[in-house]
Amino acid sequence: MQKPPVDYIKRITANYAALGYKTYQWVHNEDTPPWTPLTKPLSECRLGLIASGGIYVTGQVAFHTKDDFSFRAIPKDVATSDLRTAHFAYDQTDARRDPNVVFPIDTLRRLEAEGVIGELAEHAFTFMGGIYSTRKVRESLAPQLTEQLKAERVDVALLVPV
Amino acid sequence: MGLIARHAEAAGIPTLCMGSALDILQAVYPPRAAFLDYLLGHTTGKPSEPELQRAILLEALEAFSSLSQPGQIKHLPFRWAEDDGWKDGVMNDGDTRTPRRDTPQYQTEADRILVEQNDPEACEVCETAA
- A106-149 pLDDT tens trace: 999 999 999 999 999 999 999 999 888 889 999 999 999 999 99
Q: Give the mean pLDDT of A33-50.
A: 97
Asked whether the predicted pLDDT for residue B127 surpasses 60, the reply is no
Number of domains chain A contains: 1
Residue B78 included in any domain? yes
Q: For residue range B20-50, list pLDDT tens digits in order.
A: 999 999 999 999 999 999 999 999 999 999 9
Residue B71 included in any domain? yes
Average pLDDT score over chain B: 90
Does the beta carbon of B73 lie under 8 angstroms from any beta carbon of chain A?
Answer: no
How much is the pLDDT for B130? 36
Does the beta carbon of A133 lie under 8 angstroms from any beta carbon of chain B?
Answer: no
CA distance B121 to B126: 8
Q: Give the number of other CB atoms < 10 A from CB of residue A20.
A: 6
- pLDDT bin (cut points 50, 70, 90) of residue A94 is very high
Number of domains chain B contains: 1
Among the listed residues B24, B61, B15, B71, the one whose alpha carbon sits nearest the alpha carbon of residue A89: B24
How much is the pLDDT for B57? 98
Cβ-based burial of A34 (10 A; exposed 0-12, middle 13-18, buried ≥19): middle
CA distance A106 to B56: 13
User: How many residue pairs from chains A and B have C-beta atoms closer than 8 A?
Assistant: 303
Asked whether the predicted pLDDT for residue B125 surpasses 70, the reply is no
Cross-chain CB nearest to A3 (options B41, B61, B84): B84
- Per the CB < 8 A criterion, the answer to whether A159 and A50 are in contact is yes
Task: With H, G, I as helix, E, B as strand and everything else as coil, classify residue A150.
Answer: helix
- pLDDT bin (cut points 50, 70, 90) of residue B97 is confident
How close does chain A come to B43, measured CA to CA in Å? 5
Asked whether the predicted pLDDT for residue A88 surpasses 90, the reply is no
Indicate yes or no: CB of B22 within 8 angstroms of CB of A5: yes
Residue B112 included in any domain? no
Residue B57 included in any domain? yes
Residue B6 included in any domain? yes
Cβ-based burial of A125 (10 A; exposed 0-12, middle 13-18, buried ≥19): buried
Of A8-22, A69-83, B63-77, which gets the smallest average pLDDT? A8-22
Residue B65 included in any domain? yes
- pLDDT bin (cut points 50, 70, 90) of residue A1 is confident
Residue A36 included in any domain? no
Indicate yes or no: CB of A156 within 8 angstroms of CB of B105: no
Of all residues in chain A, what percent are helix, strand and coil, respectively (each to 5)? 35, 20, 45
Asked whether the predicted pLDDT for residue B129 surpasses 70, the reply is no
Indicate yes or no: CB of A61 within 8 angstroms of CB of B104: yes
Cross-chain CB nearest to A60 (options B35, B45, B125): B125
- pLDDT bin (cut points 50, 70, 90) of residue B101 is confident
Alpha-helical regions (H) of A5-156: 8-19, 93-97, 105-114, 134-136, 142-151
How much is the pLDDT for B121? 60
Residue B91 included in any domain? no
Cβ-based burial of B117 (10 A; exposed 0-12, middle 13-18, buried ≥19): exposed
How much is the pLDDT for A157? 98
Residue A14 included in any domain? no
Q: For residue range A52-72, list pLDDT tens digits in order.
A: 999 999 999 999 988 899 999
Owning domain of residue B57: 2-83
Written in H, E and C, the secondary structure of A57-84 is EECECCCCCCCCCCEEEEECCCCHHHEE
Owning domain of residue A76: 41-160
